[in-house]
Structure 1
Amino acid sequence: MGFLLDWLHFCCSSRRKIYYLPRRYKFMSRIDKQISRFRRWLPKKPMRLDKETLPDLEDSDCYTAPFSQQRIHHFIIHNKDTFFNNATRSRIVHHILQRIKYEEGKNKIGLNRLLTNGSYEAAFPLHEGSYRSKNSIKTHGAVNHRHLLYECWASWGVWYKYQPLDLVRRYFGEKIGLYFAWLGWYTGMLFPAAFIGLFVFLYGVTTLDHCQVSKEVCQATDIIMCPVCDKYCPFMRLSDSCVYAKVTHLFDNGATVFFAVFMAVWATVFLEFWKRRRAVIAYDWDLIDWEEEEEEIRPQFEAKYSKKERMNPISGKPEPYQAFTDKCSRLIVSASGIFFMICVVIAAVFGIVIYRVVTVSTFAAFKWALIRNNSQVATTGTAVCINFCIIMLLNVLYEKVALLLTNLEQPRTESEWENSFTLKMFLFQFVNLNSSTFYIAFFLGRFTGHPGAYLRLINRWRLEECHPSGCLIDLCMQMGIIMVLKQTWNNFMELGYPLIQNWWTRRKVRQEHGTERKINFPQWEKDYNLQPMNAYGLFDEYLEMILQFGFTTIFVAAFPLAPLLALLNNIIEIRLDAYKFVTQWRRPLASRAKDIGIWYGILEGIGILSVITNAFVIAITSDFIPRLVYAYKYGPCAGQGEAGQKCMVGYVNASLSVFRISDFENRSEPESDGSEFSGTPLKYCRYRDYRDPPHSLAPYGYTLQFWHVLAARLAFIIVFEHLVFCIKHLISYLIPDLPKDLRDRMRREKYLIQEMMYEAELERLQKERKERKKNGKAHHNEWP
């Protein structure tokens, strides 16, 4: 009896077709009419899905409502065997198996426990046959939904087509369908960001020959720079960094500020329009108010707190609960674990910093001239590669720690468990991935002191300085290498690893049967030989894209090509994920969800953080503010209100300070005396800073220009942040969460359903009254 009640409860959560009435009401605005006219001039199917190959999955001329056996006469049932689709049937079976008692005992409940103790090896719904067919889908049609998904979604030949989201939802469930809907929306929104970022880069390319700063750097053959490390680093001409100055201009030019503002606004527009898109999908897929009505308690929570019960204020039924003191103690232990793991990440970054300050001297004394002359670039490149290896190694540890801490908290529902686990893993991976980038952006070269009074690490190693062309080149290298390596590694692990594993499994099966021929196994055994979906569902897919979103927005002012790289990766990512789900993975259980969960809040947090970081990157890391101050205050156009390239004449010389070589500390004094430049030992060298010369009243003190630049940087950060946040809030206010036509349709549907239900109940009552009257007359006629 308990199984039947569970089944009926689950059936009630499945919305089914009720009444044949028009559901879609057309509210075509002027914009829609203009778009429809414009589409007539386009090719017929440039990116459209070939809908003639897709079946009519759902009737569009009917309403839906939660199924109830008491009102079964209201529902349209053509065939009771197909009334609930395959995905819903799988959920019903899984719901029962999760809560069945297989042995009398305290915790002898559910299929998950049988899987954990090894009684069963696996449990999964079956695919609907093979994804391949000998016949063409255009001539003979699709064999099954899996074959149709492969041809219209997972095939590389349709990479430019829209995704068949309704078919994905029908086959894999709403949760996976929402992921691919979000991924497709995110990829589509990357097109304008990638175009503007490429424009900023090309603007730097086209204006490179007219850049006065890079010209002065390339022509500065008489300016000798101080060594960037102790002893082994030689003196160098400023003109030797000509290439780096030109590369810096490609990313740090006049369009950088505009692009940073654009990306901050873009992130807000992306999130606001995704809310509208999600609302439409939730309405079409009958997910409105689903979670609040139907979410259930985790079996593990029930087993742990089965002895403690209290009345649910909503349902009025007794349910297990967790005491407040128990919950607080578990949260404190979990928070301590998170803090400890973040400290581990910071320790790893500290190790990378030590590596950088130690190896820069090693590379400066290297035998090969190529490495010796580019010691800083070699140090940065190797440090990034080592950092990437550390990131990948720590990720394995983080997953186990996050799982342990989440289970320790004992979340009440599955969504609470997922949200808790997601937040921990995101914090770990975000700090792990971006900590070195934050160090390079905001700390590298900021606290080194000056020649003759260098600040040192553990009173031994001299802190690393920026390249003579600035610190932005290091930040660009860090972001470019990490982004390319991580996306390449993720793509290999997502597709290459399952392909290799499945090939090896098929090979072992053929060897066990003693034949090299293809064996015709039943469908359950074919699916068993595929790779299972990871235990955390879509977590890895979401995490990869969210971290990429962070790279695309947080430091985009330093690397405007990040949106373009993300776009190219995502075009491949959609088909890789589709191919993996259809061909390489066992069919996952079709789960329901009304949105992307806690990931939306994480995206909003990244959007806010991106405004702050980009403001600091422009103000501190790049040379935008020092150049602006020089142009308006100290350059040849000072006081004239101009800021062209002619106003930048002499900027390089004004941004360098003078140091007397005899003032070097003993451990910092270079081995070379600089006689290779002029034939006589050098007396002075230059370094990047705004300090007084050695013969002034206050040797090596900060100049007035330094304080002007510092004040301008602080003012820029405040103005930039407030301006961008105002624009973001204004956009959020102007863009409603629900489209007007959707809001009207929802109100209309609610009104019609209430009217229909009222009429149906009135009809039923009238029928019962007639029957009672009829029965009453019959009894009256029988009275003697």
Structure 2
Amino acid sequence: MNGHENEEPAFEIGVVIPRRVVQEKDESSDCAHVLVEEFKKVGLIVERVIGIADEFIKLAAPLETLGRAAAELQIKKLTHIGMDLQFEVEEVEAFVKQPDGSVFSWCERFQCYCHLIYGIVNNSKSAKTLKFDGKEIHWEVGENLLQKLESERIVKQVFPLHDERTRKKLLRSWALHWWDFTSQPIDEIYSYYGAKIGIYFAFLGMYTRWLLFLAVFGLTLQLIDFGSLKLVVLPIFFVVVILWGIMFCQFWKRKNAALLARWPISSAVAADPGYKIPARKGCSLQPPMELIKIFEIDKAKGKEVFQRSEWLGRLMRFRNDAIIIFSIICLQLPFELAYAHLYEVVGSDVIKFGFTAVYLLTIQYITKIGGKVSVKLIMYENNENTEKRADSLVYKVFGLYFMQTYIGIFYHVLLHRNFSTLRTVLIQRLLLSEVFENLLENSLPYLKYSYKKYRVRHKKKYEKGESTDKIQFTSRVEKEYLKPSYSASIGEELEDGLFDDFLELALQFGMIMMFACAFPPAFAFAAVNNIMEIRTDALKLLVILRRPVPRASATVGAWLNIFKFLILVSICTNCALLAWMYDEEGKWKIEPGLAAILIMEHVLLLIKFGFSRLVPEEPAWVRANRAKHTTQAQDMCSKKLLRTISGGEKNFAEVKKLE
């Protein structure tokens, strides 16, 4: 369902089953036939497609079916008076529609699909015997059909499908729209991919637009020889850079608030970073509902259980953080320092360039191992919700990448104070690392897709003895199934591919901010890279990868705190760079210039912590709109309550008269 009630619903979910060798004579016991019939019974529109190696069941849902599922799930949606109320099919006009005109967002639709297809159980009085490719499966009373077939490896996968009409429209208006460098159809991206991906591209677009100013400023400093005024111009540039970073973070909060006010996202949905297919659940120490039940039965015992769970969770997080920190210090730090020392010793620039390329390739795999360890550790943390779990993972993995990215550069600055080497390293990292990352993140999925197609053709060739040239993939759903999912590089279990994209932006931000005084043109490199990133990421999502599972997170989460942390570190590193440039002889005399740098550092730190008071986090119209909706809701509730009380008194008086 793409959004308009009068249009034919688009197929949005695909179910994959192996292609059978033995066809069952009795269709009533055939697994695939039973599955299709059960899907139809719950109101889904079904289409079967026979692929080369597998069979596919495509699912679509009309508005009535989605509305019934939303009512059963008690999904809360935003109404025209600004309140989040449980959805009711009869009152559909009371709820705010999506930017594309649809009643439900992609996150809500996906949740409804999961509820419908995973809610099919055997309601008969006896077990049913199903057959698939000569194999018998017993479907017990009350047992979930889809989960049963998944455990028997009959259903291979359930995954979202691209809507071809919307995908082609986004290709024209987004991925291939080069005329305006940073222009993006954010509302359409939100409608098609969900809030989290929409927020990411809004953040990337704003970050890139703001970079253009510093790119021009930095290039001006590089191209014009200021001579003796350089030690005056560089501090000015440094102050502008820090103020720019502080303002960017604060004004992003305003933009984020404006986007949430424009998109009809309920507070209940926005609190959860997304929905997963039910078969893929994370684990925790003890489900919160069990703790609540204990508390209701015995408050004294429940309080003790809650406290034990709370402190045990904190201790486990502390233990995991300590493991990561000690791993960085004992394992990663020596490796990084050894690389930095060898880089300083080697004389040939060509060897240095090749050495850096080999190092970047090697460190990618080392850091991935650390990331996978972090994922495993977090699975055993007692986090409050999935958002807290995601933030904990972000902080741990960013610590690994922070060490990998910056320790070599700090080595050149702190020990050798070699600014020519520092500039060379920055150029190599900005050019080589970012170009390498872009090639890797776009070429690897395509190579995986090509390899999967080759394997399917090769297997079919041996089964039928045909030439691989005759085996062609004609169905779009089979091509989508073979495409890689949008997942993080540190582990397939982390389904959110935005992790890598945000990590790339954060590392770039730290690189250009922390060493701004040493290499001002770095902002121009970053701006050009991000302009390319907007289009290549769009192509990656629309063409190379499957449609991602939606996530409803309405902010950038922990990444904004990381950006703020990098601004704080930038104040210290740039002041150190200016001090070393000013005091080239290393005498460390407190002269006026050096004293001014120290004063400037303290002033900028005060500005960093006090600027949030100056710029409000929400635009005035957002606050006014919320206040208006709150007033309307209070008035309506008050009137309804008065009518109820008044009606109750009249009924009571009538009863008295009859007596």
TM-score surpassing 0.5?
yes
Q: Which residue does 1:182 correspond to in 2?
A: 203
> In structure 2, how many angstroms separate the alpha carbons of the residues matched to 1:113 and 1:408?
27
In structure 1, C-alpha distance between the alignment counterparts of 2:208 and 2:311, rounded to whole Å = 45
- How far 1:725 sits from its partner (Å)? 2.3
Deviation at 1:721, TM superposition (A): 0.8
| Superposed displacement of residue 101, structure 1 | 9.7
Change (3 A) 1:110 1:573: farther
1:75 maps to which of 85, 88, 94: 94
Look up the match of 1:84.
104
The answer to whether the 8 A contact 1:197-1:560 is kept is yes
- Output the CA distance in 2 between the equivalents of 1:542 and 1:712: 41
Question: Could you tell me which residue of structure 1 aligns to residue 601 of structure 2?
Answer: 721
Following TM superposition, by how much is the alpha carbon of 1:88 offset from its aligned partner in structure 2, in angstroms? Answer: 1.7
Match of 1:241 in 2: none
1:334 to 320, 325, 329: 320
State the 1:195 CA deviation. 1.2
Structure 1: gaps of 5 or more residues: 20-62, 130-143, 213-248, 364-370, 372-376, 446-470, 627-688, 691-705
Contact 1:555 1:614 in 2 (8 A): yes
Q: Any conservation in 2 of the 1:301–1:410 contact (CA below 8 Å)?
A: no
Q: Which residue of 2 aligns with 1:473?
A: 420
Q: CA deviation at 1:157?
A: 3.9
SS in 2 for 1:715: helix
The residue type paired with residue 162 of structure 2 is H
1:260 aligned partner, one-letter code: F
Contact persistence 1:406–1:417 (CA under 8 A): yes
Confirm or deny: 8 A CA contact 1:18 1:65 kept in the other structure.
no
- 1:614 aligned residue (574, 579, 585): 574
1:327 positional shift: 2.5
Alpha-carbon spacing, 1:354–1:729, altered in 2? closer, same or farther (3 Å): closer
Name the CA distance, whole Å, in 2 between partners of 1:439 and 1:314.
54
Residues 1:265 and 2:286 are matched in the alignment: no
SS state of the match for residue 254, structure 2? helix
Query: Which residues of 2 match residues 82-231 of structure 1 at below 5 A?
Result: 83-94=103-114, 120-129=155-164, 144-158=165-179, 160=181, 162-204=183-225, 207=226, 211=227
| Cα pair 1:91 1:589 within 8 Å, conserved | no
Q: Name the structure 2 match of 1:350.
A: 337
- Tell me the equivalent position of 1:274: 252
1:152 CA displacement = 0.6
Q: Does 1:430 align with 2:402?
A: yes
Distance 1:284 1:77 in 2: 11
Cα offsets for 1:648-701 (capped at 9, x unmatched):
xxxxxxxxxxxxxxxxxxxxxxxxxxxxxxxxxxxxxxxxx57xxxxxxxxxxx
Is the 8 Å Cα contact of residues 273 and 554 (structure 2) preserved in structure 1? Answer: no
Offset from partner CA, 1:30-84 (integer Å, 9 cap, x none): xxxxxxxxxxxxxxxxxxxxxxxxxxxxxxxxx5743344994872699xx9643
1:391 and 1:433 in contact (8 A); partners too: no
* Contact 2:579–2:597 (CA under 8 A) maintained in structure 1: yes
Residues 315 and 617 of structure 1: CA distance in aligned 2, closer, same or farther (over 3 Å): farther
Aligned equivalents of 1:494, 1:266: Cα separation in 2: 29
The one-letter code sitting in structure 1 at the alignment partner of 2:503 is L
Q: 1:553 aligns with which of 500, 503, 513?
A: 513
Q: Please name the residue that 2:18 is paired with.
A: none
Q: CA deviation at 1:480?
A: 0.9
Cα distance in 2, alignment partners of residues 184 and 67 from structure 1:
34
Task: Give the deviation of 1:737 after TM superposition.
Answer: 1.1
Q: 2:540 aligns with which of 557, 576, 580?
A: 580
Deviation at 1:407, TM superposition (A): 1.8
Does structure 2 conserve the Cα–Cα contact (< 8 Å) formed by 1:128 and 1:145? yes
SS at match of 2:183: coil
Deviation at 1:120, TM superposition (A): 4.8
Q: For residues 139 and 513 of structure 2, what CA distance do their matches in structure 1 show?
A: 55
Partner of 1:484: 431
* Helix, strand or coil at the partner of 2:291: strand
Change (3 A) 1:419 1:96: farther
2:526 to 536, 543, 566: 566
Q: CA deviation at 1:167?
A: 0.9
Number of aligned positions between the proteins: 553
For residues 349-373 of structure 1, give each alpha carbon's deviation from its aligned partner in whole angstroms, at most 9, with x where no partner exists.
Answer: 232255246x45xx5xxxxxxx5xx
2:161–2:480 CA contact under 8 A, matched in 1: yes
Q: Which has the higher helix share?
A: 2
1:162 and 1:608 map into 2 onto residues whose CA distance is 30
- Looking at structure 2, the residues matched to 101 and 434 of structure 1 have their Cα atoms a distance apart, in angstroms, of 54
SS at match of 1:265: helix
Deviations 1:269-320 (A, max 9, x none): 1011101101101111234744686689998566752599322899999999
Call closer, same or farther: CA 1:303–1:609 in 2, change over 3 Å. Answer: closer
1:602 paired with 2:562, answer yes
Where do 1:741-752 residues align within 5 Å?
A: 741-752=621-632
Distance 1:303 1:200, change over 3 A: closer
Residues in 2 aligned to 1:753 and 1:549: alpha-carbon distance in whole angstroms: 43
> Which residue of structure 1 lines up, in the alignment, with residue 32 of structure 2?
none
CA separation in 2, counterparts of 1:178 and 1:148? 20
Aligned-partner Cα distance in 1 for 2:265–2:448: 36
Q: Is 1:526 matched with 2:479?
A: yes
With over 3 angstroms needed to count, the CA separation of the structure-2 counterparts of 1:733 and 1:430, relative to structure 1, is same
Given that residues 514 and 574 in structure 2 are in contact (C-alpha distance below 8 angstroms), is that contact kept between their aligned partners in structure 1? yes
SS in 2 for 1:420: helix
| Kept in 2: contact 1:99–1:109 (CA 8 A) | yes
Aligned-residue RMSD, C-alpha:
4.5
Residues 623-647 of structure 1, C-alpha deviation per residue, up to 9 Å, x if partnerless?
A: 3344xxxxxxxxxxxxxxxxxxxxx
Counterpart of 2:614 in structure 1 is 734
Give the Cα–Cα distance (whole angstroms) in 1 for the partners of residues 283 and 614 of structure 2: 45
Asked if the contact 2:275–2:549 (Cα under 8 Å) also holds between the matched residues in 1, the reply is no
Stretch of structure 1 that moved more, 522-531 or 572-581: 522-531
Aligned residues of 1:91 and 1:591 also touching (Cα < 8 A):
no
Unaligned runs of 5+ in 2: 1-41, 43-65, 123-137, 488-493
- 2:297 corresponds to 1:310: no
> What TM-score, normalized by structure 2, do the two folds share?
0.72
- Counterparts of 1:517 and 1:305, CA distance in 2: 54
Q: Distance in 1 between matches of 2:154 and 2:593?
A: 65
State how far apart, in whole Å, the 2-side matches of 1:740 and 1:508 are: 58
Match of 1:66 in 2: 85
Q: Secondary structure at the match of 2:380?
A: helix
Residue 9 of structure 2: aligned partner? none
**Deviation string for 1:456-507 (max 9, x for gaps)?**
xxxxxxxxxxxxxxx1101101111011111111111222222233334345
* Residue deviations 1:397-434 (CA, integer Å, cap 9, x gap): 22222212222324342112211111111010011110
SS in 2 for 1:337: helix
Letter in 1 for 2:483: L
Query: Do the aligned partners of residues 94 and 269 (structure 1) sit closer, same or farther apart at CA in structure 2, a change above 3 Å counting?
Result: same
In structure 2, do the counterparts of structure 1 residues 609 and 97 end up closer, same or farther at CA, with 3 Å as the change threshold?
farther
3-state DSSP of counterpart to 2:438? helix
> Are 1:753 and 2:617 matched, yes or no?
no
Identity %: 23
Instruction: Quickly say closer, same or farther: Cα 1:199–1:171, change in 2 above 3 A.
Output: same
8 Å Cα contact 1:178-1:595 kept in structure 2: yes
Deviation at 1:527, TM superposition (A): 1.8
Residue 732 of structure 1, CA deviation = 2.9
| Alignment map for 1:459-470 (pairs within 5 Å) | none
Task: For residue 524 of structure 1, give the secondary structure of its aligned residue in structure 2.
Answer: helix
Going from structure 1 to structure 2, the CA distance change for 1:99 and 1:402 (only over 3 Å counts) comes to farther
Residue 652 of structure 1: aligned partner: none
Moved more, 492-501 or 611-620: 492-501
- What's the counterpart of residue 442 of structure 1? 414
Gap change, CA 1:607 and 1:573, over 3 Å in 2: same
